[in-house]
Amino acid sequence: MVKVVILGQGYVASIFASGLEKVKAGKIRPYGIPLADELPVKIKDIQIVGSYDVDVTKVGRDLHEVVKAYDPEAPETLRGITVRRGIHLKSLRNLPIEATGLDDEMTLKEAVDHLVGEWKELKPDVFINVCTTEAFVPFESREELEEAIEGDKRDRLTATQVYVYAAAEYAKETGGAAFVNAIPTLIANDPVYVELAKESKLAVFGDDGATGATPLTADVLSHFAQRNRYVLDIAQFNIGGNNDFLALTDKERNRSKEFTKSSIVRDLLGYDAPHYIKPTGFLEPLDDKKFIAMHIEYVSFNGAHDEIIITGRINDSPALAGLLVDLVRLGKIAIEKKEFGTVYEVNAFYMKNPGPKDMQNIPRIIAHEKMRMWAGLEPKWL
């Protein structure tokens, strides 16, 4: 059994919950879940035990009701869990959403204690953090972090930063837990948090789930690198209509994306080909189905100039939600293996910005094999 607490009951979390229950019930095939039935921890072993949000239209409502707004075919098995009030800290600032968090009612320290208290009852193994993209500042030292919590410095912290702090507290008290950070806020890439996690028996996976155009771009760049084709330039656009794209129209949040290792191009090609790789726009009717477009020019043998263009219509939330079904199970495995801190082998395949801080991006196809081996599976092609 893997008990899961969801932090941020938005699009991704709702598709995760809905798809998970459908797969468990045998209603749909486990497509989009990389390791499907291969892991010793099975999909049917996953159990959602709690969910947190700050949207006033969600807090206090039944999970089934909330999920249904995103997927009309949400299974009935989601009934019985009530969405709880989480940390706000202006996570939804500038978005057209009315929100109140625990922090609007108590100090941060009290909120942390409140959460740890609830979690001791829910007994989760794994937390998945799928809050809206935040404008954040990483922590430089443990003291700075402790002071921010203790001193109730609300402007210094984001919801994610508080959640991980609380999860570490919980892990320390209960003997082990895992935290999957699927958003760009630096956690697995922040040595302060990795150190805290290691000490507290918390396994952290992160940062920023590897979905969308970037992993495909990565594999296409690897394709060119292996043939020694010289990439001249890379332009990559994407536009969508979900809240995450809306959030990125906010300048400050958009900057948080820049913390994501922009070194992916250099890591894979071995040189820094000029590139423009950014979330580009918000167009509401696209909803969760984003449009991506990518243009790459390169030099082939004898000085020949080639170009390829990739366009796509991709459902944004299912891509990430499917990865989460693996990540919660890998979290459980990390706890069992007592691999606390962060796990590069997992991050390298599943995350856009694989922690720890000093580690590179590698071709995902290679990362996939390494991750399999970490999880005790046979490699597929090696």
Contact of 208 with 260, CB cutoff 8 Å = yes
**Interaction mask 93-132, its own copies, x per CB under 8 A:** ----------------------------------------
The rounded distance, in Å, linking the Cα atoms of 222 and 313 is 22
How many Cβ atoms from other residues are within 10 Å of residue 155's Cβ? 8
Contact between 319 and its own copies per CB under 8 A: yes
DSSP characters over 258-310: HTS-TTHHHHHHSS---EEE---EE-GGGTTEEEEEEEEEEE-GGG-EEEEEE
Residues 141-180 vs its own copies: string with x where CB under 8 A? ----------------------------------------
Using the rule CB under 8 A, is 222 a contact of its own copies?
Answer: yes
- In the set 154, 266, 278, 357, which binds its own copies (CB under 8 A)? 278
Taking CB under 8 A as the binding criterion, the range among 97-105, 200-208, 255-263, 356-364 that sits at the site for its own copies is: 356-364
The single residue among 98, 173, 306, 336 that binds its own copies, judged by CB under 8 A, is: 306
Q: Does the protein bind its own copies through residue 219 (CB under 8 A)? A: yes
Cis, bond preceding 356 (omega within 30 deg of 0): yes
CA distances, 88 to each of 103, 145, 162, 165, 372 (Å): 7, 18, 10, 15, 36
Residue 107's identity, in one-letter code, is: T
Contact region for its own copies (CB under 8 A) — 12-20, 56-64, 115-123, 175-183? 12-20
Question: Pattern of binders to its own copies over 22-61, x per CB under 8 A?
Answer: x-----xxxxxxxxx-------------------------
3-state DSSP assignment of residue 16: helix
133 or 214, CB closer to its own copies? 214
Q: Which is nearer to its own copies, 80 or 303 (CB)?
A: 303
Assigned token pair, 307: 């170009």
4 beta partners: 48, 126
Closer to its own copies by Cβ: residue 200 or 236:
236
